[in-house]
Amino acid sequence: MNHFENLESSKVFHFFEEISKIPRCSGSEKEVSDYMVKFAKDRNLEVWQDEIYNIIIKKTATPGYENFPSIALQGHLDMVCEKNVNTIHDFSKDPIKLIIRYGMIYADGTTLGADNGIAVAMAMAVLDSNDLSHPCLEVILTVQEETGLTGAKMLDPEKVNSRTLINIDSEEEGKLLTSCAGGIRSKLDLPVEWTSLETEYDTYKLTVGGLSGGHSGAQINLGRGNAIKILGRVLREFSKDLKFEIFSVTAGSKDNVIPREASADIAINTDCFDKLNSLSQKWTEILRKEFVLKDEDVVVSVEKMGNDSNSVLNMKSKRDLIFMLNHHPNGINTMSAHIPGLVESSLNIGVLETSKRNISFHSALRSSIRTLKYEISEKLQLIADYTCSKLTLSNEYPEWSFNPDSKIRDLFVSCHSDLFGKEPEIIAIHAGVECGIFSEKFEDMDMISFGPDTFDPHSPDEHISIHSVDNCYKLLLDVLKSSGKLN
């Protein structure tokens, strides 16, 4: 990354490259957290690390800024770890391979980790510099953000003195995030029973794939296909023309990611392959017409496989599974009446798992209105009761409400206008950010969230704009330099 040397944000890219070498999947942040402790100590900065590896690093004010309000810079250490089917990559030890293309940074077949490594890198650049003007800074780097905002929830509020916080976890330059949705995770366990196959059969993996996937909050409104829901539809339609049995179903790895692929291991009579193949081609064509310009590469495929087991779902469990796949809520529930185009409440089925006793549906619920979040969970409970399933709700986090008197928002608007000749857009987002947690943890905290243009987060197509990172870093430095206006 030597060719970034002439950019004001050159240190940001240097540190982003450094942390890209360190494994940091959600729940496995110890190594990167320890790296940040060493980073701080090497620069004689005060640092605190808790038992789950949250980090707070403090830097004293530069001369002339001692009496200005302290500011917290905040991001999260973890990343969503997704890769393409054919990509060989071990997230527990392999570095993210960075590729520069057309002014963007990509990874090689994996998620990039710009969400939220770019916040970590920006904070590191500020902490490392000796020639910037700023008040007292507290850099808050949390863990397990992508799996339920756990780090923010567990953070000790007594360790934070600042009452102004800049979150660097937004994904559109020129837009200032001022409120967000709350959320909750759900797991619905459908009980299943098994029976044995007694006739001659062949086994196939029936797969719905070729989908774009993406962030289940920020991209839920793009009309992209959910592979789990499409698989349910395909199984329902196939059952009208083809007799088959089901060994298992599987899809996804994260409940907050729109699943790109879902599959069912099935058994059919040995002379029924032509019918299976014909149906797969028919439904590929149907789906491509329905998802044109959204997921036009969707495909229904079949692959011959070996299966040593002859244990398949019994008739009732098969029927219950297809019912659940088709009737489990998914997608947009309501749109905001106040902000045009903003999703107000939604649900995403992200993971499908088969075990000996259950088939489990893992979902992420989101809403900027708390009662609508509970309304969706009540729908899930009704479905669970109807199918004798077990519903478990966990990892609830609150929404972040708009503050009409925000001084940090006004300062960002002023600095943005001076730097770029236009005011930024003030927005809300249908996704959880840690500001929601902090709004409850620190009742008087004045917050803003911003960030550079980041595309396709939570997917192997994730990439980030180099020019946008440079602009956002300039904006951050100008806000810090102008922080006396917060008095």
Q: For residue range 108-146, what is the model confidence (pLDDT) as tens digits?
A: 999 999 999 999 999 999 999 999 999 999 999 999 999
Q: State residue 1's pLDDT score.
A: 57
Question: Of 396, 422, 441, which closes a domain?
Answer: 396
Question: Of 381, 396, 411, which closes a domain?
Answer: 396
Check whether residue 130 and residue 29 sit in a common domain: yes
Instruction: Locate the DSSP E strands across 210-261.
Output: 214-215, 245-251, 257-258
- H-helix or E-strand spanning residue 344: strand 343-354
Residues annotated as catalytic are: 78, 145
pLDDT digits 0-9 by tens, 393-434: 998 889 998 898 999 999 999 999 999 999 999 999 898 889
Q: State residue 3's pLDDT score.
A: 67
Q: State residue 147's pLDDT score.
A: 86
Closest CA to 383 of 300, 326, 462: 326
Helix 466-481 to helix 407-420 angle, to the nearest 10 degrees? 120
Whether the upstream peptide bond of residue 314 has omega within 30° of 0, thus cis, is: no
- H-helix or E-strand spanning residue 289: helix 273-290
What residue has token string 């609830």? 396
Average pLDDT over residues 134-163: 95
pLDDT digits 0-9 by tens, 76-101: 999 999 999 899 999 999 999 999 99
We report the CATH number of the domain holding residue 408 as: 3.40.630.10
58 phi and psi angles, rounded to 5 deg: -115, 140
Please, are residues 329 and 348 in contact by the beta-carbon 8 Å criterion?
no
d(CA 85, CA 99): 19
Look up the domain containing 278 and give its range: 184-396
d(CA 368, CA 148): 16
427 phi and psi angles, rounded to 5 deg: -135, 165
Average pLDDT over residues 260-277: 95
Q: State residue 339's pLDDT score.
A: 80
Lowest mean per-residue pLDDT among 159-163, 236-240, 367-371: 367-371
Instruction: Tell if the pTM clears 0.85, that is, is over it.
Output: no
Check whether residue 268 and residue 225 sit in a common domain: yes
Does 163 have pLDDT greater than 70?
A: yes
Strand partners, 195: 312
Check whether residue 252 and residue 138 sit in a common domain: no
Does 178 have pLDDT greater than 90?
A: yes
**DSSP codes joined into one string, 82-150:** -B-TT----TTTPPP-EEEETTEEEESSB---HHHHHHHHHHHHHHH-SS-----EEEEEES--TTTSH
Check whether residue 324 and residue 458 sit in a common domain: no
Closest CA to 260 of 222, 212, 305: 212
Q: State residue 401's pLDDT score.
A: 86
Average pLDDT over residues 287-297: 95
Closest CA to 485 of 426, 410, 402: 410
Q: State residue 332's pLDDT score.
A: 97
Check whether residue 188 and residue 300 sit in a common domain: yes
Check whether residue 188 and residue 177 sit in a common domain: no
Q: State residue 397's pLDDT score.
A: 87
Distances (CA, A) of 369 to 188, 278, 345, 447: 23, 46, 8, 19
Distances (CA, A) of 113 to 47, 253, 321, 384, 474: 24, 16, 35, 36, 21
Question: Of 396, 411, 444, which closes a domain?
Answer: 396
d(CA 482, CA 26): 35
Domain count, the chain: 2
Check whether residue 127 and residue 32 sit in a common domain: yes
65 phi and psi angles, rounded to 5 deg: -115, 10
Average pLDDT over residues 344-365: 97
Check whether residue 104 and residue 144 sit in a common domain: yes
Check whether residue 346 and residue 250 sit in a common domain: yes
pLDDT digits 0-9 by tens, 203-223: 999 999 999 999 898 899 999
Q: State residue 310's pLDDT score.
A: 84
Check whether residue 222 and residue 295 sit in a common domain: yes
pLDDT digits 0-9 by tens, 314-342: 999 999 999 999 999 999 999 988 788 89
Q: State residue 308's pLDDT score.
A: 72
Q: State residue 414's pLDDT score.
A: 98
Tokens of 18: 């450094």
Q: How many CB atoms lie within 10 A of CB 113?
A: 26
Q: State residue 12's pLDDT score.
A: 97
We report the CATH number of the domain holding residue 295 as: 3.30.70.360
pLDDT digits 0-9 by tens, 458-486: 889 999 999 999 999 999 999 999 999 99
Q: State residue 432's pLDDT score.
A: 80
pLDDT digits 0-9 by tens, 433-454: 899 999 989 989 999 999 999 9
Average pLDDT over residues 36-46: 98
**Average per-residue pLDDT for the chain:** 95
Check whether residue 21 and residue 163 sit in a common domain: yes
- Under the banding of pLDDT at 50, 70 and 90, the label for residue 2 is low
- H-helix or E-strand spanning residue 58: strand 55-59
Check whether residue 235 and residue 381 sit in a common domain: yes
Exposed (0-12), middle (13-18) or buried (19+): which is 31, by Cβ within 10 Å? middle
Please, are residues 188 and 456 in contact by the beta-carbon 8 Å criterion?
no
**List of residues 6+ apart from 233 with CB closer than 8 A:** 325, 326
Look at the alpha carbons of 329, 351, 87, 98 in this order and tell me if their dihedral is positive or negative. positive
